[in-house]
Amino acid sequence: MAHILTIANLNCDRIFRLSRPLQTGARIHYEDLGKRIGGGAANTGTALAWAGHQVQLLSQVGEDDLGDWLIEQASGLGLDCSQLHRHPGPTQPLQLLMEPDGERTILRPNRPRLMLPAKLNDTNLDAIYVNLMAEGLHQLLHHAIEHCTVIAQLPKDLSLRPSHYLITSEDDLAQHAVDDPWQFAIGIAGPQLKAFIVTQGENGSIAYTHNSSVQVSAVDTKVVDTTGAGDAYAAGLLDGVVRNLSLEQAMEQGALWASYALRSDSSIPSTQLKMHLRPPR
């Protein structure tokens, strides 16, 4: 069992199922499916907890009933919420607009930026997973990277993100003019980078290293809801890394875990993944 710190958003997802795809000027019927816990903190953290790891969340919620509900839900999933910050004011839900084919549009509220310490007091961490932008994050990771494995999502603003493994999606990478993926990633993650992994949807994923690349196929899956698939992939990859699997094996596991998320209409991983990780005796 590894001790993993997840620095990511803990969200309340408000779900609206649309009758047809979004289109400018269209009138679209919707069904309000209510709220559910989500965000990278819950999605990635839950999968890792089901895999037997000790997962601590470093995130923030508001000082209101919805914030209390999120902490209660996360704790019930086996996540350590002792490092969650409470910011003044309400917790703003995330709006998820779900199209009939499972694709979604995310309406993200403005919220206070998470303030992080210069370094962590816990020196017993095995790994840190990062999937948000926060004040002090670069300095924190600069100190932590000498002591534990750091896996990070590519930041939207391309700010420095010291890490051993950097992850992004093909769609997100396409927003930048990247001729040499490895040199691009080194510029973000630093010289200790071991692999730059780009997920490619139904085409699988590719990892770039200093002298080669690794291609892994996606798992053939009927897509119900794409929410949380990237988070589940990251969890599977991280689990493989801390268990010393090869890069290819870790990527294959990420693809498998993502497939469970794709076939489920929830933000957090489906119970099918839990059964896969903890088969009944």
For residue 17, give the 3-state DSSP assignment.
strand
Which amino acid is located at 185 in the chain?
A
Which amino acid is located at 201 in the chain?
G
CATH number, domain of 12, equals 3.40.1190.20
CA-based nearest residue to 129, from 237, 253, 7, 258: 7
Joined together, the tokens standing for residue 19 give 């009758």
The pLDDT value given to residue 272: 87
Nearest 5°: phi and psi at 5?
-100, 125
What confidence tens digit (pLDDT) does each residue in 53-106 have?
Answer: 999 999 999 999 999 999 999 999 999 999 999 999 999 999 989 898 878 888
Which neighbouring-strand residues pair with 3? 54
| CA angle in degrees (0–180, nearest 5) for 159-162-164 | 130
CA-based nearest residue to 59, from 37, 34, 28, 27: 37
The helix (H) or strand (E) run that includes residue 44 is: helix 40-50
The pLDDT value given to residue 279: 73
The pLDDT value given to residue 266: 76
Q: Which domain holds residue 124?
A: 3-277
What confidence tens digit (pLDDT) does each residue in 198-212 have?
Answer: 999 999 999 999 999
Neighbours of 122 (CB within 10 A): 13
Joined together, the tokens standing for residue 228 give 């949380």
* Whether the Cβ atoms of residue 74 and residue 37 lie closer than 8 Å to each other: yes
CA-based nearest residue to 258, from 192, 174, 207, 202: 202
Q: How far apart are CA 232 and CA 192, in angstroms?
A: 24
What's the number of domains the chain is made of? 1
Q: How far apart are CA 273 and CA 22, in angstroms?
A: 31
What confidence tens digit (pLDDT) does each residue in 141-156 have?
Answer: 999 999 999 999 999 9
* Whether the Cβ atoms of residue 197 and residue 206 lie closer than 8 Å to each other: yes
